[in-house]
A and B are shown apart, each in its own frame.
Chain A
C-alpha cells in the first residue's frame, strides 16, 4: 500500500519540449484531412457529437492527465455551458457565436468558483468535492426557472453565424464545429507544451518538490482547472447548438463518469487518447443504443477492465509500441 503523494500515471507521452515533434504535425494534418472528408461518408450529426465529446474529454485530460487532478464533476461545466448557450440563443436571440461565447464564459466563472474551493483538498477528496459540487449544479438545473426542469431547453435555434451563415444545414454547422473543436484541441496542445504545462507536469509528478522550487502550486492548479472548465464549457455550448437541446443529462454525474471513461480508455496523459476514447464510447452508445440498460453495464465493464488491465489506454499502448509520445 502506498501512502506517498507522488502520483505516477502510466502515460507514455512525456515529450521533451524541443519544437513540435514531426509526427504530431502529421497526425494533426491527417486528422484535419479526415474531418474534411468524413461527412461525405459518415452522418455529420454523429461526427459532431464525437467532436464535442472529444473536446470535452481532452479538456478533462488537460486537468487529469497533465495536472494530475481527477475531477469527477466536469459535467457541471459541460452542462451549465450548454444551458446558458441554449438560453442565450433561444430566449435572448443571440447569434450562435455569441451564444457559445456566453456559455463558455459561464463555465469559466463556475470553474473559477468550484476550482478555488476544490483545490483546497487533494487526491481522492478533490474527486469527491468536484463530484459534490457538480451534484449541486444538477439540483440547481433541476429547480431553476429558466432550465425547463425535466424537459430541458428544447428546440434551440441554430441561427446564423455572424448573422450571415445559416447553420440550419448540418453540413455547414459541421464545418463550424470542426473549426471550434480543432481550435480547442490545438489550444490544449499549446498549453501542454508551454512552460506552464511543464510546471504542471512537475506538480503532478512531485508536488512537494514543485513547492520547494518556489512555484505557487495552487495558482497553477487553479489556472489549469479554469482552463479545463472553460474548454469543457466550449464543448457543452457547441453541443447545445448541434442537438438544439440542453437537458439534465448534460449535468448529471453519469456524464462526468462517461468523460472520465473516455479519457481512461483513450489514454490518460496522452494528447490523442481522449479523441480515440470519445470516438469509441460515442460509437458504442450509438450502435448499441437498442440494448438499453446494457450500455451502462458495458460501460461499467469497460471501466473495470481498463483499470485492471489496460491503464495506459489505447493510445498509450500504441505509443509504447512505436516508442514515440502521442
Chain B
C-alpha cells in the first residue's frame, strides 16, 4: 500500500470525491446565481431556500404521490421554477427601477419565509430520501470504491452545467439573452419580449437550484436548513469567480469543491473557512474575481 505525503490514498481520494460532489453543488448553484444576475442584476438570496425546496418537493412527490426519483429530477425543477416565475412577476419585477440592493433584501425576506414555513411543517430533523435502485452499490476503481450515486451526481451536474453553458453561449436564444444583458432597450426594439425573457430566466435559475436540491436529497438528509449555510459559501464562490462568465462560475465551483476536499485531508480544522480565505486572497490580488471583468 503506497502513501502520499503520509496520507493513505483511500482517505485522499475519498475526500477528493466528497470535494468534487460539493463542487458539483457549488457549480450548479453559482451557475444559477450567475444566470439570474446576468439578466436581472439582482442577487437571488433565496437561492439556498429554493435548493432546499427542490429537495423537499422531491420528497413530497415520493411520499405523497409515489413519483420516483427520475420523474422528480424532471418535474421538480419545473414546479419550483414555476414558483420562481410567480415570485418574479409578483414581486421582483417591481424593483428593477430601484437600487439592486433592494432585490437582495427582498429575496432575503423570501428566504426567511420559505425556510420558516418548511421548518414549521417538517421540523429541523432531516427526512430520509432513498437512493434510486438503479444507482445503489459501488464500483471498485482499484484505488478506491466509488458509490454509484455519487458518480452520477458529478456526471449529472457536469452535463447540466455544460448544457447551460452551451445554451447561453452557442445558441440563438442564448444570443438574445446575452444581448438583453448588454442592452435590454435595444433588444426590446427588435421585437423580443424582454420582460418575459427576464421572467423565464429567473424561473430557469431557480429551476437549476431545485435540480441541485433533487440531486442532493439522497446524499444529505432533506431538512429545512440545508440551503441556508450553503448559500453563503456559494456567495463566496461567486465573489471568487466573478459573475461575468458562465464558464467561470462552473470552473470555480468545481475547483473550490476540490480545494475544500483537499483541505479536509491536510488541515481538517481549516476546511470550513478555506473558501473564505481564498476569497480574501482573491480580493487582495484580483478584486474583480478570477473570471470577472472590472465594471
Give me the interface of A with B, judged by CB distance under 8 Å: 1-3, 7-9, 70, 72, 117-118, 120-125, 127-129, 131-133, 135-136, 139-140, 142-143, 253, 257, 260, 264, 292-294, 296-297, 299-304, 306-308, 311
Sample of 21 A–B contacts (CB below 8 Å) = A1-B41, A1-B184, A7-B101, A72-B104, A122-B295, A124-B43, A124-B100, A124-B104, A135-B236, A136-B277, A143-B269, A294-B120, A296-B116, A297-B116, A300-B109, A300-B113, A303-B106, A306-B105, A307-B95, A307-B102, A311-B98
Decide if B172 is an interface residue (CB 8 Å cutoff).
Answer: no
Say yes or no: A120-B287 contact (C-beta < 8 A), given A125-B239, A297-B113. Answer: yes
| A304 close to B232 (CB less than 8 A) | no
**Complex: chain A residue closest to B39, CB-CB:** A1
Interface residue tally for chain B (C-beta within 8 Å): 50
Complex alpha-carbon distance, A3 and B238, angstroms: 20
Chain B residues within 8 Å of A303, by CB: 105-106, 108-109, 112
Among B69-77, B138-146, B159-167, B278-286, the stretch that binds chain A is B278-286
Looking at the complex, which one of B96, B115, B233, B280 makes contact with A296 (CB distance below 8 Å)?
B115
Determine the residue in chain B with the shortest Cβ distance to A118.
Answer: B283
Task: Specify the main secondary structure of chain B where it touches its partner.
Answer: helix
> What is the CA–CA distance of A131 and B107 in the complex, to the nearest angstrom?
15
Determine the chain A residues whose CB is within 8 A of the CB of B277 once the complex forms: 136
Q: With A117-B284, A132-B236 known to touch, is A2 a contact of B102 (CB < 8 Å)?
A: no
Contact indicator B276/A132 (Cβ below 8 Å) = yes
Q: Smallest CB-CB separation from B281: which chain A residue? A: A117
Query: What per-residue 1/0 map shows which CB atoms of B17-30 lie under 8 Å from chain A?
Result: 00000000000000
Known contacts A300-B110, A301-B113; A123/B101 CB under 8 A: yes
Per the 8 Å Cβ criterion, residues 252-272 of B in contact with A are 269, 272
Q: A253-B232, A307-B106 are in contact. Are A297 and B112 (CB under 8 A)?
A: yes
Q: How far is the CA of A273 from the CA of B145 in the complex (A)?
A: 59
When chains A and B are docked, how far (Å) is the Cα of A79 from the Cα of B99? 29
B94 within 8 A of A: yes
User: Which chain B residue shows the least CB distance to A134?
Assistant: B232
Residues of A within 8 A of B40 (CB): 1
Q: A125 to B105: give the CA distance in the assembly, Å.
A: 14
Task: Please state if A139 and B272 are interface contacts (CB–CB under 8 Å).
Answer: yes
Complex: A260 Cα to B115 Cα, angstroms: 18
- The answer for the CA separation of A3 and B41 in the assembled complex, in Å, is 8
Q: How far apart are B219's CB and chain A's nearest CB, in angstroms?
A: 22
Contacts of B101 in A (CB 8 A): 7, 70, 123-124, 127
Cα-based distance from A264 to B102 in the complex (angstroms): 10
Q: A135 is contacted by which of B42, B98, B109, B229 (Cβ under 8 Å)?
A: B229
B273 within 8 A of A: yes
Known interface pairs A132-B236, A294-B116. Does A127 touch B43 (Cβ–Cβ under 8 Å)? Answer: yes
Choice from B94, B104, B115, B284 contacting A308 with Cβ under 8 Å: B94
